[in-house]
Each structure stands twice: as structure tokens, then as C-alpha cells.
Structure 1
Amino acid sequence: MNRRNQSGLQGVRLAGNLTLILSLAAGFAGCAARVPLYTPVPPARPAITPAPVPVPPPQVQKEEPVTYSVDLGAPRDDGIRPLPDAPVVSQQDIDRLRGWVADHNRLYDVAGKLMIRNVELCPNNARRILGFTAKNRFSYTSQFADTAAAALGLDDRLQVIQVLPGSGAQSAGLQRGDILLEFNGQPVPSGPQAEREASVLIISETRGKQQVRLGVDRQGQAAALDVPLTEACAFGIELGDSEEIGSYADGYRVMVTRGMLAFVSSETELAYVMAGEFARNLLAAGDRNAAASLIDQYRFLKTGTAASAAPIQIKPYAAAVDVQADRLALYMLARSGYDIRAYGPFWERMAQAASAVPAAQLPVNSYAVLHPGFRERLQAIPRMVSTIEQKRARNEPLLP
């Protein structure tokens, strides 16, 4: 998880987000200090008996120690204080965090097919992944720590939040809500730095292995699961806390905003969006530095309403670049079992929605602003769809 791969799918980013759908190719190098085999022993000195230290007489405590009472109705004038009140957690923040997690799970459900079924199309990004995400109460921004406990039942231990469909974790029977106890016999860290420390442990314990053993607590019962590692296109999946209808790719990660999630009408349409961003990552297209900065800004859930347009501005894509991305995305979608015939009509709907808003009022990083070449794309898509369908009819490999 380097600076750009927050979710852990390529490389391991040791901060913020333990997305255990991660690359297992990293390694560590160690070095040992030279220690002389013989060290001269200095001559012994006569022992010196220390002088006795005077012990002060015991002091009498003048005040009673402050204690805490479970009885919150106890009188306040007897020197006994009640327990502190529990942190106040607003229903609004509980609803926002639960919605945030549900939206993340929605992204992973769609991304799972695209990542696992297209290894042939991303040879430079293919990695062995675990196939699940885990969080604890410290995984979100500090203002949501108490909310995470109240809304999601999280504590100091890492708990499985999502299992990637089609992954080895799913086939092994790992379930949402399982609490991670051991990883290949090593205790899984807990506490504020659990994600960072667990990432280091995972790298060490998965090197050169085809599967790992997880020890979990499932509703108070201990269980051990052998989880096969899964070959997949290793991209980080991020949810953007923004009402903009947008999606972004920085070469390592793909982000879909909450505004885009509200715009798409089905999981198939969401797959159209994500496949396009996967394709842009594979084609190394676009302003990666600006996209990475925007993803970093949008990736954390904030209190109150979702974030508005950020001052960071990404350079729009050329129409020819988007046509090339559409071609690769269509192959990824067809290989993943999605209906590609509605691909063109979806982007036509996007173009119509954008044209209904004055250009000056469109957010600077909305999809319509970053991808202005709708006309060229809509002309090229039918031909690309026809080519793929002909290959499928002839039972030819679905390769670009």
C-alpha cells in the first residue's frame, strides 16, 4: 500500500485502510550487526557496600481517594463521583457510517468479478489477494471511532467487513463479522495501529504461500479456516465522499463517488463505470498526480453532508483516450458476464444528463467535464460491441 494504493490491492499501504485485498509480492531485507567473538574482560573491582538510605516516615493521607460509583443516582456531596457519561453518538452519524459501509460493499461486489475474471488482461497488475477487508473502531476518522462501535459493533480487534465475491476467502467460508484472531499462527494486532501492523504481518506470512490459515472468533466460537490466495487484477477500490457524479483512476486505485452511485440505476451500470476506470489504469492514461490527490481528499468519510467540489482539478481526457478505454472495458465486462449491449445507452444517458446543466455550472471534476468526448465514444461503441459478440459466437477468446 504505497501512497497511491490505499485499499491494498497493489503493494501495501501501511496507513488508514486495511483493505486485505492486497498485493503479496513485496518483500523485506534484513541486515545483522557484526559482533566480535571475543571481548576482553576488565579486571574485577572490589565491591563497595552502599551506605544505608534513610527511609522517611509514612505520611498520613489527608483526603479520601476519589472513587467511581456505578450508581448514577448517588449524592454528589459525599466525595463519590459517578461514572463518566458515555460518548454521545448522533443518529445522523450512525446512519452515515452504515451507509458508507454499505456503499463500499456495493463497490466490492461489482469489482470482484472484474478483478478476478480479467487476470489475462492485466498481467502487470495481477497479484495474489486474500479477498476480504477488515476494520476496527479506529479504521475511520477519529470523529467516527465511537460511531463505529455503536453503528457497526466494532471494537479494538479487526473484524471482517466484506468478503470479495469469487475469492478464496469466500470459498473458505469466511464471513462478515468474523473477528481476526490469528494469521498463520501469529496473533493479529489490535488497537489504534492494528491495520498498519496487520499489513506487515500479512506480507511476512504470505510470502511464497498458496494459502493461509486464519483463526477467527465467530459469535464467540473459535474457528480455523484455510484460505486460498486468489489471483486477481490488484487495484485499490475507494469510495468518494462527494456528491459529484464522478469516478477517477490514478494508476493504482479506482474511486467512485457517492454521487455516481446515486446516478447509476443498476449494478451493471456501476460495472460500466468501474471497468472504464480499470481500463484507464491499465492504459496509464490521464493526470495521475492530480487524480491521486483528489482520491486522497475524497476517500475519508466526513461528518455532516458529503464534500463539495474540491479545488484540485484534473485535466480532461482526450476523446481518443476514452475510446481506447471503452474498448478494453468492454472486453473486461464481457469476460465478467455483464451485458455489454446497454453500455452505449448508459453513456448516452450520462451525456444527456450533462447537457441539461449549463457548462459553467458543472463541477470541475464531474464525469462530464473530465470526459467531454461523448460523441466520438457513442459512435465507436456499437462497432466494438459487435466485434466482441462475433468473437463470442465463434467461441474465440475474448481478448482485445
Structure 2
Amino acid sequence: MNTPRFSFFPACASIAATFVLTACATSIRPSSDDPDVVQEQALQQSMSLNQRMALQRRLDDVAIPLMEHSAPFCDGDVRASLGAHIASVWSFEKEERITVKQTLHLDDRLAVLWTLDRKQAPATPLRAGDVLLSVGGKPLPAGEKGIDRLNDVLLDAARAKPMKREGWLDAVVQREGQSTALRLPYAAACNYTAITRMKNEVHAENDGHEIFVNSALMTFFPDNRDLAIVLGHELANGVLSHGGKSRAVGIAAGIVDGALGGTGMAEEALSSPFSQQFDAEADYLGLYMVAAAGYDIEGAERIWREFGVHTAGTKKKSFVSAAPTSARRFVAMRRTIAEIQAKKKNGAPLVPLAKSKS
């Protein structure tokens, strides 16, 4: 009988080779404070910021005119819109500010990053790079308080004359090292800001003060009209106070659910009908806002068909995850489009039925 023989040499050689490869990998892999790593990290952060700002500029081109034309729907919750994106390093998260300084050349003072490409409204005399020293006779201090001061001025200007859609604000800017006096035209706009978030989920939401739009949603809707419909829906959610109502329903459902032993059945049973109602209301009012902003809404209902196909078979939260389903929204939007077009044809004001009856 032959005794089995075991060879340890191949195994030892394999282990030795592994140690050699590990040693090589360790010598190649740099530390986080390696100068080349630090340089590459800074480059990637700068590129990411530039990408986000490009999306933000597109979002502004759609959102700001929509906010302006929707001012009559916002029931006095308005501010003056200067037709420009104004920011300082304090407009960004703390961990971004070094990159912002290096990439966008911003500091503690409020400066113009870009202005809107106006076609119907008066063009602003502001230019990219202008540093705002005062607006409406109010000095704008450097630092975080400068943003608050500007917001107060813009709120006061629009609310002082609630029935006036447009006006002027005197301003002083620093331009090319010199102080320059300007007269800035403004338009009353809904008191909301639209902000781009770099996220892969096709989603948008309104927190009651700001409308957050994910980069994935902007990619999904390359046409500005379709993006305007999404923004109109979210703006309508805010105007109709759906956020507060949803929280109230959620609290009530939670109390009932707790009494039933925390099964979650009450929350599902109580919240779903309200969610359907809220989305239907926001779809309806939002489309009127988009039409009032001058967009051609013919065929706009197709976005729900596209979304229905996109979200089929998934329960992942998205802009259209809540009921009514995409099929119901498609039909409802088509009927709303017919209603709006009939009003345009007859020269009737573009006022939603609920408001026209009140």
C-alpha cells in the first residue's frame, strides 16, 4: 500500500507569492495625505461642484421664471426676484467652502454667479462677478448675516406692494474694483428656492421653504417643459400646505396604529387616501402654474406614461411613487390640459376651478 505524499512546497510558494503581492500593493497604494492624492481629491471635488452648478443654472432658468409667474397663486407669500443667482461661501455646506473659494472664487461677500437669460422680462443690469454692497438702501454685511439681510430686503420689497407684480430696487455693487450704483428691476415671485442635489434617485420634494430636485430627475427630464411640470407640482404642494397636512395625518395614523399594537395598518389605511388627494390637487394646480409661465402644455401628460414605465415593478420611493398611479395621473393631466386650452381659446383667465368658484 502506497503511503500518500503531501507536498508543502507549492502551498508555501503560493503563500510567499501572496505576501509579495500584498507588499507590492501596499507600496503602490498611497496614504490619504499623499500630495498626489490630495491634489486628485481637490480636482474631483472641483469637478463635482462645477457639475452641480451647471445643473443648478439650468434649474434656475426654469424655476425662477416659474416662481415669478406663479406669484398670484402664492397668496401673498412672495419675495422680490432679481433674476440672478447670488451667493457667498456661506450659501454652501461647511465642508465645501474651501472648494467653493477655489473653484467659484466666492468669499464672505454676496456675489453674482450668473444671471438669467431673459427673453420677456427686463434684463438685470447685474453681471456675473458683481459683489453686492447694498440693496434697497440696506448695506449687506459680509458673512452669514449678509444672506439673511438680502432675504429680508427681498421679502419686504414684494410684500410692501402685494398687488404690484414688478418694481425697482436701488443697489450698489463692486465691479472691477469700483463701486457702481445700479437700479435693479425685480418681479414678485413665490417665496421658494429650488436647489439641486447630486443624488441618483429620480425624486423631488418640497420642505415648505425649499424645493429639492435630484440630479437624476433632471437627467430623466432633459426637456425644460417637463422639468417645469415637476417643479409646478412641488410648488403647488407648498402653496396647498400639503406638507403640514401630511404630517398631521401621519401623527394621527401613528396614534391609531399605536393603539392597535403598532401593526402599521392604520398608517397605510389613513395616509394613502390623503396622499392620493394631495398629489391630484398638486398635479392640477401645478399645471396651471406651468401654463401661466408660458409653457406649451400640449402633450405634457406623456411624462406620467414615461414614469409609469420607469417605475413599473418597483416600490422604490420616487417623485411618482405615491398614488394616484401614473395611469390615473396621465388621464387626469390630459383632462386638465383640455380644460386649460379651452380657457385660452375662450379668452378666460387661467384660474383653477376651485379658485374661480371661491
Q: Same fold (TM over 0.5)?
A: yes
| 1:159 paired residue among 104, 107, 111 | 111
SS at match of 1:128: strand
> Against the structure 1 CA distance between its residues 337 and 156, is the aligned structure 2 distance closer, same or farther, given a 3 Å change threshold?
same
Q: Deviations over 1:114-158 (max 9, x none)?
A: 122223322242343444332223432222222112211112322
Amino acid at match of 1:258: S
Q: How far, CA to CA, are the matches of 1:220 and 1:169 in structure 2?
A: 29
TM-score, normalised by the number of residues in structure 1: 0.63
Unaligned runs of 5+ in 2: 1-37, 162-166, 248-270, 353-358
More displaced 10-residue stretch of structure 1: 140-149 or 271-280: 140-149
The secondary structure found in structure 1 opposite 2:284 is: helix
Paired residue for 1:345?
Answer: 302
- State the shift of 1:326 in Å: 1.8
The whole-number CA distance in structure 1 between the counterparts of 2:139 and 2:116 is 23
Say if 2:345 is the partner of 1:393: yes
CA separation of 1:280/1:156 partners in 2, compared to 1, >3 Å: closer, same or farther?
A: closer
Select which of 184, 191, 200 maps to 1:243.
200
More helix by share: 2
Aligned to 2:175: 218
Q: 2: distance between equivalents of 1:206 and 1:393?
A: 32
Q: Secondary structure at the match of 1:343?
A: coil
In the alignment, what sits opposite 1:329? 286
Aligned to 2:251: none
The change in CA–CA distance for 1:130 and 1:247 in structure 2 (over 3 A counts) is same
Write out aligned runs for 1:31-42 (5 A): none
The Cα offsets for residues 27-66 of structure 1, whole Å up to 9 and x where unpaired, read as xxxxxxxxxxxxxxxxxxxxxxxxxxxxxxxxxxxxxxxx
Q: Distance in 1 between matches of 2:159 and 2:288?
A: 32
Distance 1:172 1:263, change over 3 A: closer
**What's the counterpart of residue 266 of structure 1?**
223
- Give the CA RMSD over aligned residues: 3.2
**What is the aligned-residue identity percentage?**
28
Q: 1:115, 1:387 → 2: CA distance?
A: 22
Q: CA deviation at 1:380?
A: 1.8
Matched residue, 2:233? 276
The change in CA–CA distance for 1:265 and 1:189 in structure 2 (over 3 A counts) is: same
- TM superposition score normalised by structure 2: 0.70
Q: Which of 96, 99, 120 in structure 2 is aligned with 1:144?
A: 96
Q: 1:167 to 1:344 in 2, by over 3 A?
A: closer
Is 1:97–2:54 an aligned residue pair? no
Q: Distance in 2 between matches of 1:118 and 1:199?
A: 19
- Tell me how far apart the structure 2 counterparts of residues 381 and 114 of structure 1 sit (CA, whole Å): 19
Distance 2:174 2:277 in 1: 52
**Residue 109 of structure 1: which of 28, 50, 61 is its match?**
61
Residue aligning to 1:253: 210
Aligned pair in 2 of structure 1 residues 134, 337: CA closer, same or farther (>3 Å)?
A: same
Contact 2:78/2:159, CA 8 A, preserved across alignment: no
* CA drift at 1:192: 5.6
- Which residue is equivalent to 1:354? 311
Instruction: After TM superposition, list the pairs within 5 Å mapping 1:1-400 onto structure 2.
Output: 90-164=42-116, 171-184=123-136, 187-191=139-143, 193-196=145-148, 198-199=150-151, 208=160, 210-286=167-243, 318-355=275-312, 357-359=313-315, 362=316, 365-400=317-352
Q: Is the 8 A contact 2:80 2:188 kept in 1?
A: yes
**Deviation of the 1:286 alpha carbon:** 4.3
Q: What is the CA deviation profile of residues 84-118 of structure 1, one whole-angstrom value per residue up to 9, with x for unaligned ones?
A: xxx95611100111122222222111112212222
The worse-fitting range, judged by mean Cα deviation, of 327-336 and 226-235 is 226-235
CA pair 115-334 structure 1, distance change in 2 beyond 3 A: same
- Secondary structure of residue in 2 paired with 1:369: coil
Q: Write the distance in 2 (CA, Å) between the matches of 1:367 and 1:329.
A: 14
User: Structure 2 vs 1, CA of residues 336 and 242 (structure 1 numbering), >3 Å: closer, same or farther?
Assistant: same
Cα distance change on mapping 1:128 and 1:152 into 2, 3 Å: closer
Select the structure with the greater relative contact order (CA < 8 A; seq sep ≥ 6): 1
Deviation at 1:216, TM superposition (A): 1.3
Q: Which amino acid aligns with 2:126?
A: L
Matched length: 286
The runs of 5 or more residues in structure 1 that have no matched partner are 1-86, 291-314
SS at match of 2:174: strand
Q: Kindly state the Cα deviation for residue 212 of structure 1 after the two structures are TM-superposed.
A: 2.2
CA contact (8 A) 1:149 1:155 kept: yes
Maintained 8 Å contact 1:132/1:169: no
Tell me, in whole angstroms, the C-alpha distance in 1 between the residues paired with 2:143 and 2:78. 31
State the Cα distance separating 1:219 from its structure 2 match.
Answer: 3.0
Cα displacement (A) at 1:199: 4.5
